[in-house]
Amino acid sequence: MRKTLALFSGLLGIAAFIPLLSVVAQPILPPIRIPSSPQQLPTQPLPQLPPPGQTPVPLPGGEIQPVQPVQPLKLVKLDLNCQPARGCIGWDEQLFWSKGKPGDVRALLRSIDNSLRYLNTPRAATVYQNFPVEGITLDRVRRSLVRFRQLVVSAKSPEQLQIAVKREFDFYKSIGNDGKGTVKFTAYYEPVYTASRVPTRAYRYPLYRIPQNLDQWAKPHPTRVQLEGEDGLLGNRSQLRGSELFWFRDRLDAYMIHIQGSAQLRLTDGRTTSVGFAGATDYPWTSIGRALIKDGKLDPQNATMPALINHFRRVPQDLNVYLPLWERFVFFKETKGQPATGSINVPVTAERSIATDKSLMPPGALALINNAFPFPAPGGGMVRRQVSRFVLDQDTGSAIKGPGRVDYFMGTGEMAGNRAGVTGGNGQLYYLLLK
């Protein structure tokens, strides 16, 4: 979805006080995101990089001695006697909220079931045939989810689940972006916008259906400017004329859907529907946040999504300058109210689904993340709280590359977007498999 889903890591889905440099980091997933057949997602070998701290050794004659691929996950042993328990990995209090606040056990169980559905497909069998990490197999991932589901159903407290998981599961830790386990977190969400099925004087900025002959387009593909113009209003002069799907009042709304990859829509006729990723032109991700910082228009110490949006509200003429920098153009399909869908073609679940680099990480698998996330404060604003959260790896994104990146799905709507826009920081990522 995201990412072609809704990455709000979004426009810049980054975190408070975390530079937007990669923000918009979770732009849409490549078409590989929502597969319909095994051929759509060829397995990719791990990059031939030297292990952290090592460099290739030159051989006589100038040749480079080959090195073994870096393993993105490493089996680690956790301290089973860590105290206090609530400060240790695996304490997921959100499952068991008290004081009148309901937990989200049902959401986690639903996410587990979505992954199990994926793991029973021919596509999953194909992907896991050549999975690069020793010991991680389709059968083991599936059995791990079945057992974990049983533990969640029977657990009465965070501590009880924490103890059972540490007793029965192996923990595979991501090596992160530094070889020491440091993982950069962003978040994305599914926005909700008002749109029109027909163009009007107020609703002028369109989303487009995928051209039927996109796979026949010569490369390099037309750029964003060539398809929609610098101001987004190329209209009848565009080669896409006649493929309009919906129109929006605000150009930034349409652009944000390109980044997030999906959206729920409130139509001007009172009805509701949704759109999802259908395809895209072949260009890499470009961070407009980075460009704004470089040009001195955003403070690198406060380069968050809200700051970026506020800049464009104050200086709307900059939309024509910076939005075209991302040359990739995204196409959509109407999904008629369906929930946001991840790259493994199952719905993503608020705060229980993550996106990672699927050339390295096991799709559909049970994971545990540890990071500080923003929560609404009683008096307004956000407060950060360190949490451990059991999640399912169900999505990817064109900007989510390497073992040191996780994009966390916040959910749908304004509050999810507010939280996603200020999510960031460094944490840890573990995958849990039965011993």
CATH number at residue 371: 2.40.40.10
Q: Which stretch of 62-71, 172-181, 279-288 has the lowest confidence by average pLDDT?
A: 62-71
Compute the distance between CA of residue 206 and CA of residue 258 in angstroms, rounded to an integer: 11
Q: Is the pLDDT of residue 177 over 80?
A: yes
Which residue segment(s) compose the domain that 310 sits in?
190-334
- The verdict on 296 and 408 lying in the same domain is no
Among candidates 432, 384, 410, which has minimal Cα distance to 140? 432
Q: Please, are residues 349 and 409 in contact by the beta-carbon 8 Å criterion?
A: yes
- The verdict on 360 and 391 lying in the same domain is yes
- The verdict on 361 and 321 lying in the same domain is no
Predicted pLDDT at 64? 56
Predicted pLDDT at 227? 98
Predicted pLDDT at 381? 85
- The verdict on 230 and 155 lying in the same domain is no
Is 3 contained in some domain?
A: no
Q: Is the pLDDT of residue 317 over 70?
A: yes
Give this prediction's pTM: 0.79
- The verdict on 358 and 376 lying in the same domain is yes
Q: What is the pLDDT of residues 3-34, one digit of tens each?
A: 443 333 434 433 322 333 333 333 333 332 32
- The verdict on 320 and 233 lying in the same domain is yes
Q: Which stretch of 67-71, 337-341, 388-392 has the lowest confidence by average pLDDT?
A: 67-71
3-state secondary structure the chain: CECCECCCHHHHCECCCCCHHHCCCCCCCCHHHCCCCHHHCCCCCCCCCCCCCCCCCECCCCCECCCCCCCCEEEECCCCCCCCHHHCCCCCHHHHCCCCCCCCHHHHHHHHHHHHHHHCCHHHHHHHHCCCCCCCCHHHHHHHHHHHHHHHHHCCCHHHHHHHHHHHEEEEEECECCCCCEEEEEEEEECEEEEECCCCCCCCEEEEECCCCHHHCCCCCCCHHHHHCCCCCCHHHCCCCCCEEEEECCHHHHHHHHHHCEEEEEECCCCEEEEEEEEECCCCCCCHHHHHHHCCCCCHHHCCHHHHHHHHHHCHHHHHHHHHHCCCCEEEEECCCCCCECCCCCECCCCCEEECCCCCCCCCCEEEEEEEEEEECCCCCEEEEEEEEEEEEEECCCCCCCCCEEEEEEEECHHHHHHHHECCCEEEEEEEEEC
- The verdict on 205 and 321 lying in the same domain is yes
In DSSP terms, which residues pair with 208 in a beta bridge? 244
Q: What secondary structure letter does DSSP report for 292? A: H
- The verdict on 304 and 368 lying in the same domain is no
- The verdict on 194 and 326 lying in the same domain is yes
- The verdict on 127 and 207 lying in the same domain is no
Is 155 contained in some domain?
A: yes
- The verdict on 173 and 204 lying in the same domain is no
Give the rounded percent of residues in the chain with a pLDDT score beyond 90: 72
Among candidates 195, 258, 187, which has minimal Cα distance to 415? 187
Among candidates 201, 260, 251, which has minimal Cα distance to 231? 251
- What is the band of 84 on the pLDDT scale with cuts at 50, 70, 90? confident
Q: What is the pLDDT of residues 238-286, one digit of tens each?
A: 999 999 999 999 999 999 999 888 999 999 999 999 999 999 999 988 9
For residue 252, the domain's CATH number is: 2.40.240.50
- What is the band of 48 on the pLDDT scale with cuts at 50, 70, 90? very low
Predicted pLDDT at 2? 45
When divided into structural domains, the chain yields a total of 2
Range with the largest mean pLDDT of 276-285, 351-360, 417-426: 351-360
Question: Over the Cα atoms of the chain, what is R_g?
Answer: 22
Is 14 contained in some domain?
A: no
Element (H, E) at 294: helix 288-294
Predicted pLDDT at 29? 33
Is 296 contained in some domain?
A: yes
Average pLDDT score over the chain? 86
Q: Which stretch of 93-102, 119-128, 201-210, 322-331 has the lowest confidence by average pLDDT?
A: 93-102
- The verdict on 149 and 212 lying in the same domain is no
